[in-house]
Chain A
């Protein structure tokens, strides 16, 4: 596994837009002075007439995208997660969510793996914010293959979609030939009977590694990849809860309102089971190299292993 290729999902996003631009002539891309960072610049290079910079004005960008969608275009609006879900929350809610317009939000630089820029730019709240908006689909892809598939699925879905991409290069563990993406359907990556690790985004690969370590120590851990946090795959989660009775969620996001909370909702209402949540606790991030930060905040295979063993009293 050590020799897996790596690519940041923001890069996958920009490449996917450029690749799909020919097939979907109705696709337009908006950015807020971050095209080089969000990677929509890749699309801009190929389709300069279909890429629009809105300047540093995210609120207006969301409204412009809404107007484009209301007149039949498929707009992608891109900026950092902090500004898409945070600064422009109310525009996304009222101008996109309420009229249920066909806007795709490509939010990059999510989570603490933003790294050196520090807390002001490390958005650990976007999943929580976006999933409260009625009718909003929330997708958090784990690698290049999944991110590209998610972009095309979003184009083919009629309605608002929030997509979360990362800055840090992530291992490409999915096989492009075999991979299938379906909005709202989780993916079982590994069966296990002792505990089920439910992961999303950058944490999915960490979960896979953790499960291997646990297996070597005699603990049979299952791994589920929840790429769509809303609508969440309730059946898959309930089935895992029934099978193992113990779930461990892992996300590069606040433990308040994200994947862990969404899974807790399913457990409470469908299939009560024990739940351990790994994520960013009720605190802000800070500056530092992404990989070191992830370790410091316990967003790594080692901590998943430790928490799983603790939960199993082993």
Chain B
């Protein structure tokens, strides 16, 4: 990846992480861990990959994005705000009564292509969008992100079978493999491993990537572009809570908001990182 772009993405990702913390802190609830683990991916998608238009959010040929792991809505919202779909001020009223930003993604929010949050369902919707595009020779592509715990849902494998059967090569699914779910380590709760091999057995092309390295993310998506006749899954090794020291790899931050002291520390860490990047 071009060094200038990479630097820019790293800066944007730091801002998106700050927005995640801002949203979850003000909401006094929500899911920071899995939001932070996909922050770099969301940055890559919205600032280097997707054809989306903040001034025309409903443009028919826009690429589609479905956050199947909908509980990490703060990552999506912070990204959409950074991209200009709505004001960053909206993050301060995340989950509040009467607010634009619902606890889980809602299709009425500018830039949100599908309501999601009940796990396992987003990938099916993404399949429908991809099939739809194939039927009318649309140019858009469809991207969806699942959690590594989420793929314990049986519906994910119904969708996996469907996507391969109908050769949906305009569909890319990312599995955010941060290794933790609410009750603990994924391999202790209900092991989804081996993830890539499972998808391959269902007829998908599988690629691995490092969730916190833009070169690695880009290489995975570039590889997906070369695949025809089958969907691609990117198994993305990530760190839950990435970017906030005390949240990293700590399952207790799956679904808890920081208190004021923790918020201040998180903001201080992320701001210091941002300043370092901005030189």
Contact = CB atoms under 8 A, between A and B. Distances in A.
B270 to A, nearest CB: 33
Interface hub of A28, A64, A72, A91 (most chain B Cβ within 10 A) = A64
Nearest to A57: B158
Interface hub of B125, B126, B132 (most chain A Cβ within 10 A) = B125
Interface string A56-100: 010111111111111111010000000000000011001100110
Contact of A70 (B114, B138, B161): B114
B132 A59 contact: no
B82 to A, nearest CB: 24
B162 A94 contact: no
Nearest to A67: B128
Chain A facing B: main interface SS:
helix
Contact of B162 (A54, A68, A98): A54
B107 A59 contact: no
A95 B129 contact: no
Contacts of B162: 54-55, 57, 60, 64
Contact of A55 (B120, B131, B161): B161
Interface residues of B, number: 34
A181 interface: no
Nearest to A91: B121
Nearest to B66: A67
A4 to B, nearest CB: 41
A67 B115 contact: no
A264 B121 CA distance: 35
Contacts of A72: 60, 132
Interface residues of A, number: 28
Interface string B112-153: 011101101111111111111101001000000000000000
Contact of A64 (B117, B118, B127): B127
Nearest to A62: B124
A52 interface: yes
Given A64-B127, A65-B128, A94-B121, A59 B158 contact: yes
Contacts of B138: 71
B217 to A, nearest CB: 25
B215 to A, nearest CB: 31
Given A52-B166, A57-B161, A67 B127 contact: yes
Interface string B150-164: 000011001101100
Given A70-B107, A71-B64, A99-B115, A59 B155 contact: yes
B130 A67 contact: yes
A66 B133 CA distance: 13
Contacts of A57: 155, 158, 161-162
B132 A66 contact: no
Given A67-B125, A70-B113, A70-B128, 10 more contacts: A60-B161, A63-B128, A64-B162, A65-B128, A67-B131, A67-B132, A72-B132, A75-B128, A91-B121, A95-B124
